[in-house]
Amino acid sequence: MKKFVSQQTFSRLSKRTSSSTFGLTKKFNNSNRNNAVLSNVRNLVALAIVAMMNVSMMCAQNIAIKAPAFAQPLVEQWIKSYNDSHSASESVSLAAKNAEADIQITVSEQQAKQLGQSNIVFGRYAILPFAAAGSEAARTFGNKKLNKTRLAHIYFNLDEEEDEFGDYTDSHKGMTIYSGNSQATVANSFAEYFGQQSTAFRGKRIQGDDRFVNLAVSRDQKGLALNAVSNLYDLNSRSLREGIQLLNLDVNRRVQTALNDNNLDELISVLEENESDAIAIANIGLSYDAQNPQTAEFVSWVLTEGVKYNHQFGLLNTKVDLQASK
C-alpha cells in the first residue's frame, strides 16, 4: 500500500535539506579561503627565503684577482693564507682568463692609470736585460759594460743626435729587440724608467704574457730582451732559468757579485740596499675599488701579511717596509 508524504512533512524535510546544504557550502567556502591564505603564506615564505639566499650570496661573493704570470705564484700563496684564516664568505681566488676581476696586479704607472681605480704599492721588482745563453747576441754584448744610457740606445729608437755611444749602438745592428705588448707587461715600466714611451722600443712586440718574451728570444740567435727577475729566475732553485744569459751591466761590485753568483735571494737583498742606474726597479701594486669593503679588507691584509711573501716570490720590499723593518 503506497504511503504519501504530507505537505507539512515535505516542507519540514525541504527546510532540513536546505539548511544542511547551506552548512556544507559554508564549510566548503571557508575551506577554500583557508587554503588560499595558506597558499599566500607559503608564497611569502618562499620569497623571503629567496631574498635571504640572494643576500647571503651577495655577502659571500668571491673576490677575484687578476695577475700576470710572474705574480701568480705570489697571489696563489696569498689566496691560501687568506682563505685559511677567513670564513668562506670572504674567500678570494684567481680570476679566470678573460674574466672580470675585483682586484688587478699592476706592474706599471701606465697600467694603473688605465684602470682608473685606487692603486696601492705593496712591493717592487727588478727588470733585467738578457739574451739566449750562448747566442750571438750574448757573445756580442758579453764583454761590454752597459749602463743606463747605453741600454737606452740599444733598446729604444732614439734621435741620432742623442746617440753618444756609436760603438754600442752599432753593436745592436742586426739584433732584434723583443718586448712585451700587453697592458700588464713589465716593458712599460722599463720604458718609463728610461724616460721613453713603450712605442719607442726597437724590434718586435710580443702579445700575451711576458713569459712568451723568453720563448721568442730563445729561438733567435740575435735576440735581446728584458723581463722581471721572477720570469728569469726559477723560484724553486733560486737560480737563472735554463737558457737565460743576462747582459753584462755596469754596476757596483756588490751587485756584480750577486749577479755572478746566480742566486736570486742574494740579488734581492743587494738590490734593496744598492740601487744601480743600469737596473730598472719598478713598483708593483693592487688596483681595486676602495668603496668595496671586501676588497678593501683584503688589500689591508696584503699590506700587513701578504708582503711577508715578497722575497719568496722574487719581489723587493718597498722602501717604507724596509725602513719599518730596521
CATH number (domain holding residue 181): 3.40.190.290
- Residue 9, pLDDT score: 45
CA nearest to 255, candidates 284, 217, 229 = 229
Q: Flag whether 79 is in a domain.
A: yes
- What is the full per-residue pLDDT of the chain (326 aa) written as tens digits? 434 444 444 344 344 444 444 444 444 355 555 555 445 545 554 454 444 444 444 445 689 999 999 999 999 999 999 999 988 778 999 998 889 999 999 999 999 999 999 999 999 999 999 999 999 999 998 888 999 999 999 999 987 555 555 455 566 678 999 999 999 999 999 999 999 999 999 999 999 999 999 999 999 999 999 999 999 999 999 999 999 999 999 999 999 999 999 999 999 999 999 889 999 999 999 999 999 999 999 999 999 999 999 999 999 999 875 544 44
Q: Flag whether 4 is in a domain.
A: no
* Packing angle of the helix pair 264-273, 253-261 (nearest 10 deg): 160
Q: At 202, list the grid cell.
A: 726597437
| Number of separate domains in the chain | 1
Q: Where in the sequence is the domain holding 85, given as residue range(s)?
A: 60-326
Q: What does the alpha-carbon distance between residue 190 and residue 114 come to, in Å, rounded to a whole number?
A: 17
Q: Flag whether 46 is in a domain.
A: no
Q: What does the alpha-carbon distance between residue 41 and residue 98 come to, in Å, rounded to a whole number?
A: 44
Q: Cβ of 221: how many Cβ atoms within 10 Å? A: 15
Q: Flag whether 51 is in a domain.
A: no
Q: Flag whether 174 is in a domain.
A: yes
Q: Flag whether 152 is in a domain.
A: yes
Give the total residue count for the chain: 326
Q: Flag whether 15 is in a domain.
A: no
Q: Flag whether 5 is in a domain.
A: no
Q: How far is CA 287 from CA 72, 103, 119, in A?
A: 15, 6, 4
Torsion sign, CA atoms 2, 6, 10, 16: negative
